[in-house]
Structure 1
Amino acid sequence: MITAVAVTTAVGLAVSGAAKPGGGIDFFQSGHWVFNSVLGTVFHIDGASRNIDAQLGLAADPGSRVVQGETGGYVVGGNRIIEFGKSDLAVGKVTAPAARERPVALEVAGGPYLVYRQAGQIVRLGDEHTSIAAGGSLGEPVTTSAGSVWVHHQGTNSICELARDADRLDCPANAPSGHTGGLTTVADRPVFIDTSTDTVHPIEEDGLGEGTALGVDAPPNARFASTDVGGRIAVLDGAGKRMHLVDTTPAKASPVTVNLPDGDYADVASSGQTVVLLDRAKNHVLTYDRDGKPRQNTPLPPGEPRLSKGEDSRVYVDSADGGHVLVVDNDGAVHPVQVTGSEHPAPSAPPPAGPPPAAGPPPAAPPAQEQQQQAPPPAQTKPPPPPPQPKPSTPAPKPASPPGAPPGVKATAGNAAITVNWGAASPNGGAVSNYHIAWTSSAGSGEKTVGGGVRSTTLSGLTNGSTYVVTVTAENSAGRGPGAGSAGVTPKSPRTITVSRGEEESYGDGCSVPDCAKMHVVATGFDPNTEYDFNPFSTAENYSNPGSGQTTDSDGSVTFEAFHFGQVGESVWVIADGVESNHFTWPPG
């Protein structure tokens, strides 16, 4: 059992202008930590500036990777997990890994998490690590900005959620038995891609939603970026050396297929508006925009690189020894960072006091006469005042990075309108100045901008009957962050029923013209091409009528005449599917 870690160096450079009590360093939830196994040092890279702003020397397993949570970092190796504080760069406890395999590391609100796919274990790292057993091998996990982890159980085909702070899995859906596929998120909501039927399904509270055709042939071993690329799903066919970009919004643009250069493609990620691919054969990182146009092709040193997505939505690619990192921004720009840090010496303790003089015979006292004749000591002069000490410099504030995704985006449909609500996005070092609310549907698309203090808005002038997907994006001085989307909602006209007097007509012995006539009924806003039961009521004593079944047209409307009535001065009304009409006072003929 490992009980101690040798700390060789601890140097912390300011990464924000605000210090915690006691002189600790305040870290934003952004950037990337990497372990340089040659130097034996953990480094923090600021994602926005690409500067190294903190480092900590420690002895960790070669090839370890580092993940960060809100207050701590975790150096995850094959034999041990070493915890350190982000505010004080102090090494904490050391624990054994849950399984002997390289886990998938996830940096997300409430985490970080380690997913041991083969062992079927999910570990939430923190003050006390929490291990959740999934009961079998798992597919690639995905996360949402709310802090949920979603996994696909490959043995049972169950699709399960580990909610933030939960200690057990909830499995609301199952893929069809024998089908293959995987998970991704679209507009911050999980979906399942069925590669047996080449369809994509939203995951709903009571199972898989209705499938939408991908429009491409996805092989059983296809890999998917864990988040969408500007509204498109990135499907990597490594064996076929091609990538598909599939639009699943209501606009449903045609899929884009990219034929890749010869190579070994196994990893794919999204930085928001850009696809990031890792070619292990050449150790190159390739980036493409959402339309499949190539952006950059950047080499890495030899070895087995690692690709990961940070909580700041950037993609980071570490070289095998941690000496080089590629930072991929939301717009696809690739920035190489040489991970060497600063050559600061370790702080040393004050020197100890010198040893006392060695014991020996006391010096002989001078003769009394000599003592009396001894000259007085020379007058002492005051030493010059020390030069003024320079005032300690205030660390430069950390450059802002784009805000996080707004949490809790909810869209509520109305009459030709949608009301959108959302929570405050993480500012990431720069106050949120604007929120951009974009909507797409088969009837068109658009965007609206509101101030940084606004949490709700109404989109008007929309088309009833068309399904809209709404995406909210925050902006600060560093630019726009990743968007978070709503479920699809469909504005409708309000359901109304109006009753008036119709055509005069006698009916039986008790209802004669001119007072007897049919009720004229107009219903609007109902589901199209659907049959409803319309039932009449009246204040007249002993009135009863079995009602009539009527089918709406393609606009959800129906107009008909039925229900003879002739009792002047009494009120009549009609109810269908819980909607009650106006109360109409019957006039004389």
Structure 2
Amino acid sequence: MGKRGLRRLPMTALVSVCAVLIGVAVSGGASPLPGLELAQAGHWIASPALNLVLFVNGSAKSVDAQVPVAGLEPGSQVVQGPTSGYVIGKSAIIEFGKSDLSVDRTLTPPSGERPALVEASGGPYLVYREAGRVVRLGSGFTTLPAGGPLGAPVATPDGTLWLNRLDSGALCRLAKDADTVACRDDLGAGHTGGLSVAGDRAVFVDTTTDTIRQVSGDAPGEPVAIGTDLSPAAQIAPADADGRIAVLEPEKRQLYLLDAGVPGAGRAPAQPIKVGLPDGVYSNPAASASSVVLLDLTRHQVLTYGADGNPRQATAIPPESGTPQLVRGDDKRVYVDGGEGKHVLVVDPDGQVSQVPVAADKAPAPATSAPPTSPPPPPAQQPPAQQPPKAKPDVRADGPKQQSPPVRKTDPPVTQQQKPLPPSPPGIPARLTARLQGGDAQLSWGAAADNRAEVTAYHVAWQPSSGTGAGSADLGGTARSAVIPGLRAGITYTVTVVAENSAGRGTPATAKVAGPAVPKPTITVTRGKTGTYEPDPGECSAPDCAKMHVVVRGFAPNTAFHFTPHCGCEYSNGGRSFTTDSNGAVTFEAFDFGAVGKQAWVTSDNGVSSAKYTWPPG
């Protein structure tokens, strides 16, 4: 099969036809496509009461999609990969498609304990800490032993999963494409502390030696004193906020913000910032891009602080939300799950908190904001904390009561008590499907929620699992379908479609489509051009003598193979080598033969043999 010529049609034709033909040639050295490098946007939650899994758009502060899932277990968690989401329960793992919003399959978890969820490139991952096991989801379902009980896991932007063994003190890592957990004895038994991520580096905060060290790379960095005494009970945030790692001392009612940079020569670490907390019970800290997030379980509040230690906002958690938990999204927002799937609070990168109702049968009271209870004055070396600005009520519209949550949320009418919300990027393109038709991929999708600004474009991108053939195209805002021509046999393509409006690009829909099946390797022999064997005309001469015409299909592409002719008679020929093209095919004429009525055939050095061909007279 030869190469197919591709060309881009005018944009007017792309929008006006039912199937849009996209043709973009991309060389093997092309840069990664932006559409396929997008971070996982938003956050999925499970609502057992409604038997729904819902997508919370953190940018738009809305519920953009829902998936019916029967029999959701109470306390179910949801983690997402590029094309699928996974509902994690005690007795079952349910996979659903993020594009078609339907359940694909049900898997059995390796343990009944509640795992830690990690969304990362190459994953997502489930870490069963007590059992010492890691489950890699995605295209497969792989369980990997880590050798012992584990601390809280983290993942760096390159897709590496980092773990620490609680029994031996070993630091472990699972690279994006690795099939084993690699551990090394870096800390020694008895060391307490936890992992975090500072920028693109994994670090370990050692509460036994009161040091911090970089653990990314081939060898760990040198430990650096953090400047304060931490207890074994200290709780470490899994990521930094503007270069500071939050550490909660629950018994001391103190929050420390540590300098996350492991200093080099000539640079001393900045002194830790100390924030006093009122008496109460607090959860493990989390971090958005520029703020620290705490749950005050005594007062049922979400507290946010800047990286300078100053309080930013205190927001009441709806009382019917159940036991809340903090989840940091790949969009660097923190999502406060209610535990019952009825409400989600979204903490933006700057620490502002917004409430998103996800239950259909109740309209929650608006979230209120007030400064946290005044903490004790900071240490003398710290400048006095500025008083936070007077809190403003949350004016987000909760909308009318509904009987069931919508697949795409629309905004309620503006009243005198409500201010109109500004536009935000569009929602997920609905019901993206990608199916093979002949050798082409047929794409179709539904309209994305405009989120208060007209959708002006859809951006389509595709990436093969190996080799060349990636491409992208920009379509108009009315486009609902596209065609990607000439998929390579045996190659799986990842396709993304993302909508854009005046506020920017939204959450992408992602799907996979496999190219045509790899054909079975075949060799076909027929009579070729008549001629005479020049070295010895008496051995093979016209008209009975001719070349063997050999057609090879379905072999490995761009590979040299050795072909040897055979005969059920006296015949000797050492054969020749030929190289297949990019489609795994080659046609050639070789091997003079003239034994009329005898059978001839050809074999290759990869074990494939042609059928026996009875040689005809010339």
SS in 1 for 2:238: coil
Q: Which residue in the other structure is 1:483 paired with? A: none
Q: Which residue in the other structure is 1:133 paired with? A: 145
- Which of 62, 68, 87 is matched with 1:75 structurally? 87
Change (3 A) 1:478 1:297: farther
Look up the equivalent residue of 1:181 and give its one-letter code: G
Look up the equivalent residue of 2:213 and give its one-letter code: H
CA distance in 2 between partners of 1:154 and 1:117 (Å): 9
Equivalent residue runs for 1:11-90 within 5 Å: 29-59=40-70, 60-90=72-102
Moved over 6 A (4+): 344-347, 476-479
SS in 1 for 2:54: strand
CA distance in 2 between partners of 1:346 and 1:231 (Å): 39
Look up the equivalent residue of 1:85 and give its one-letter code: G
CA distance in 2 between partners of 1:238 and 1:89 (Å): 41
CA distance in 1 between partners of 2:74 and 2:216 (Å): 42
2:302 aligned with 1:281: no
TM-score w.r.t. length of structure 2: 0.52
Deviation string, structure 1 residues 40-92 (Cα, Å, up to 9, x no partner): 21111111001111112222111211111100011111111111000101111
Shift of 1:137: 0.6
Is this contact kept in 1: 2:226–2:269, CA < 8 A?
A: no
Equivalent residue runs for 1:175-574 within 5 Å: 175-203=187-215, 205=217, 207-249=219-261, 250=267, 252-302=269-319, 303-340=322-359, 343=403, 394-397=447-450
Change (3 A) 1:394 1:118: closer
Unaligned residue ranges in structure 2 (runs of 5+): 1-14, 21-35, 262-266, 361-401, 408-444, 456-501, 506-618
Is this contact kept in 2: 1:132–1:167, CA < 8 A?
A: yes
Change (3 A) 1:345 1:204: closer
Is this contact kept in 1: 2:193–2:236, CA < 8 A?
A: no
CA distance in 2 between partners of 1:130 and 1:21 (Å): 38
CA distance in 2 between partners of 1:344 and 1:239 (Å): 43
Is this contact kept in 2: 1:212–1:248, CA < 8 A?
A: no
Change (3 A) 1:150 1:319: same
Deviation string, structure 1 residues 131-169 (Cα, Å, up to 9, x no partner): 111111100111111111100001111101111121111
Is this contact kept in 2: 1:29–1:312, CA < 8 A?
A: yes
Shift of 1:278: 1.5
Q: Which residue in the other structure is 2:610 paired with? A: none
Shift of 1:28: 7.2
Q: Over aligned residues, Cα RMSD in angstroms?
A: 2.9
Is this contact kept in 2: 1:195–1:218, CA < 8 A?
A: yes
Q: Which residue in the other structure is 1:107 paired with? A: 119
Is this contact kept in 2: 1:266–1:279, CA < 8 A?
A: yes
Is this contact kept in 2: 1:172–1:206, CA < 8 A?
A: no
Look up the equivalent residue of 1:339 and give its one-letter code: V
CA distance in 1 between partners of 2:43 and 2:446 (Å): 26
Shift of 1:280: 2.5
SS in 2 for 1:243: strand
SS in 2 for 1:265: coil
Is this contact kept in 1: 2:45–2:78, CA < 8 A?
A: yes
Deviation string, structure 1 residues 6-37 (Cα, Å, up to 9, x no partner): xxxxxxxxxxx9xx999xxx997200111112
Is this contact kept in 2: 1:173–1:208, CA < 8 A?
A: no
Look up the equivalent residue of 2:89 and give its one-letter code: G
Is this contact kept in 2: 1:214–1:248, CA < 8 A?
A: no
CA distance in 2 between partners of 1:238 and 1:259 (Å): 11
Task: Flag the structure with more relative contact order, 1 or 2, with Cα contacts below 8 A and sequence separation at least 6.
Answer: 2
Change (3 A) 1:196 1:109: same
SS in 2 for 1:174: coil
Look up the equivalent residue of 2:181 and give its one-letter code: L
Change (3 A) 1:83 1:213: same
Is this contact kept in 1: 2:66–2:406, CA < 8 A?
A: no
Look up the equivalent residue of 2:150 and give its one-letter code: L
Shift of 1:478: 6.4
Shift of 1:208: 3.0
CA distance in 2 between partners of 1:143 and 1:297 (Å): 29
Shift of 1:179: 2.0
Is this contact kept in 1: 2:173–2:183, CA < 8 A?
A: yes
CA distance in 2 between partners of 1:184 and 1:346 (Å): 37
Change (3 A) 1:282 1:194: same
Shift of 1:287: 0.6
Change (3 A) 1:204 1:97: closer
Deviation string, structure 1 residues 491-511 (Cα, Å, up to 9, x no partner): xxxxxxxxxxxxxxxxxxxxx
Is this contact kept in 1: 2:167–2:190, CA < 8 A?
A: no
2:194 aligned with 1:165: no
CA distance in 2 between partners of 1:21 and 1:61 (Å): 41
Q: How much identity, in percent, do the aligned residues show?
A: 46
Q: Which residue in the other structure is 2:483 paired with? A: none
CA distance in 2 between partners of 1:84 and 1:314 (Å): 23
Equivalenced residues, count? 339
CA distance in 2 between partners of 1:199 and 1:393 (Å): 53
